[in-house]
Chain A
C-alpha cells in the first residue's frame, strides 16, 4: 500500500494570482506590454508630420498586417483584444492590491511624515485611474469616432486635426500624457523591481532609463496636439 506522502499543490498560475508578489508580477508584465505598444504607437503618430497621404496610408497599412495569412484587420483585432486584456488585468490587480494595502494599515499615524517617495510614486493609483478614463475617451474619440468632431473612418489625419482644434480636447490629451509620463517614470523601474530584474548595480541605470522613457513618450505624444495648435499640421 502506498503512503499518501504527497500534498496537493495549487497550480503555479493560481499561486501567482493569489499572492501579492504574483499580482504585482501580472501588473508589471501587462504594464510592460502596454509600454511596448505605446512606444510603437507614439512613433506611428509622428508620421503625421509627413502629411495626410503618408499618415492615412500608414493607418490603412495597419489593417493589412498579417495578410494573406490573416484576413483584413484580423491582426488589429488580435492586438486590441490583447491590449484590453492587459488593461483589465492591470486594473483589477491594482484595485485588489490597493484594497489589501489599505486594510494592512488601518490606523494612520497621528504625526504624519511628509512622504519621501517621488510625486510619480505617490500618484500611481489615481494617475492610473486617470489613464483608464483617458483610454475609454481616446477609443471613443479616435477609434470609433463617436466623440470626434469629424469622425470619418479611414481619415485619421483629418480627424486628428479636427480634434486638436478644440481647446478642451488639447487640455484633456496633454493632461493625460503628463499623467502617463508620471506613471511610467515610477512604473518602468517598479516593473524591473517586481520582475526581479533590479539589483544594486542596475538601480541607477533603471531609474535613468525610466526617466528617459517617460520624457520621450510624453514629448512624442504631446508633439501632435502642439503641432495642430500651432498650425504646423493642418
Chain B
C-alpha cells in the first residue's frame, strides 16, 4: 500500500506545531499502525530528518501508551489500541491524518507524545487500596460475590490510555475515573475507603483541568477496552452517596 500521512509535528511544548505531509510506500496490510510509523521513521532518519515521536511500549494492547488520534478518531477506525490497529483497515492511496490527544490536561510534549501524568494524579488521590503489600494473600481469605468480581474485573481492564479524554468534546476524564472508582468500590477490599476514594479522585480530576461530562457518549465509543457509559452513572451514584454520608466518623 502507498499512503499519504499528515502528521502533527511539534518540536516541544513551547513551540507551535503543524500538520506535515509525508508519503510512505510498500506498506504491508499486515503491519500495525505503529510498524507503519516505524517504516516512516527509518526513512526520515536515513534522510537526516527528525523521526516522528510517539509513545509506545507493550505493542500488545495492554499498556495504554500508544495513544494517537487517527482520522479524527482516538486509536483510529477500529475499537482497539493503535498498536493493535492493522493497516488492512485502510485502502491503498488513502490520506491519513495523525494527531496527538487534544486536551488542556494532556499537554503535547513532542509530536504525538502527550504528558498524561494528570491521570497519575487522579490515581494518586484514591485509585488504590491502603493495605499491607507483600506476598499475595490467600485467594479465598476475602470472599467476593461473583457479580462484584465481574464488575471489578470489567473495570480493571482500563489501561489508562486516555482515549476517552481525547474523544470527549469536553476533554473530560469521567470514563477513566469511573473505571477506577467502580473497580475498587465494588470490591470488599475497596470498602474502607469507598467514600474518600470517590470524593478525592473526583476533586483531583476537576483540579487537573479536565472538563465535565455532557453524556455525549464519545468516550465509551472510543474506549479500546469497552468500559461502558453507565459506569459514569455508577460513579455519580458513588459520589452523591459519599457526599450524603460525609467523611466516616465525622463529628
Contacts and interface: CB of A to CB of B under 8 A. Distances in A.
B212 A101 contact: yes
B230 A199 contact: yes
Contacts, number: 146
A186 B215 contact: yes
Interface of B: 6, 8, 19, 69, 71-73, 97, 99, 102-105, 168-172, 199, 202-203, 205-206, 209-218, 221, 228-230, 232-241, 243-244, 246-247, 250
A13 B154 CA distance: 33
A22 B212 CA distance: 10
Contacts of A195: 236-237, 240
- The winner among A115, A117, A195 for most chain B CB atoms within 10 A is A117
A9 B240 contact: no
Decide if the interface of chain A is mainly helix, strand, loop or mixed: helix
By Cβ-Cβ distance, the 4 closest A-B pairs, closest first, are A196-B237, A104-B211, A20-B212, A101-B170
B104 A197 contact: no
A127 to B, nearest CB: 13
B72 A112 contact: yes
Contact of A16 (B218, B230, B243, B250): B243
Interface in A44-81: none
A104 B104 CA distance: 5
Contacts of B212: 20-21, 23-24, 97, 100-101
A203 B169 CA distance: 22
A103 to B, nearest CB: 6
A15 B8 contact: no
A194 B99 contact: no
A20 B99 contact: no
A46 B138 CA distance: 67
A39 B19 CA distance: 52
Contacts of B172: 20, 101, 104
B226 to A, nearest CB: 12
A110 B105 CA distance: 19
A230 interface: no
A190 B209 CA distance: 22
Contacts of A105: 102-104, 168-171, 211
Contacts of B218: 115-117
B236 A21 contact: yes
Contacts of B230: 193, 198-200, 203
A192 B233 contact: yes
Nearest to A23: B212
B102 A193 contact: no
Contacts of B8: 110
Contact of B99 (A22, A101, A109, A124): A109
B215 A189 contact: yes
A143 interface: no
A234 interface: no
A144 interface: no
Nearest to B217: A117
Contact of A193 (B103, B104, B233): B233
Contacts of A107: 102
A89 to B, nearest CB: 16
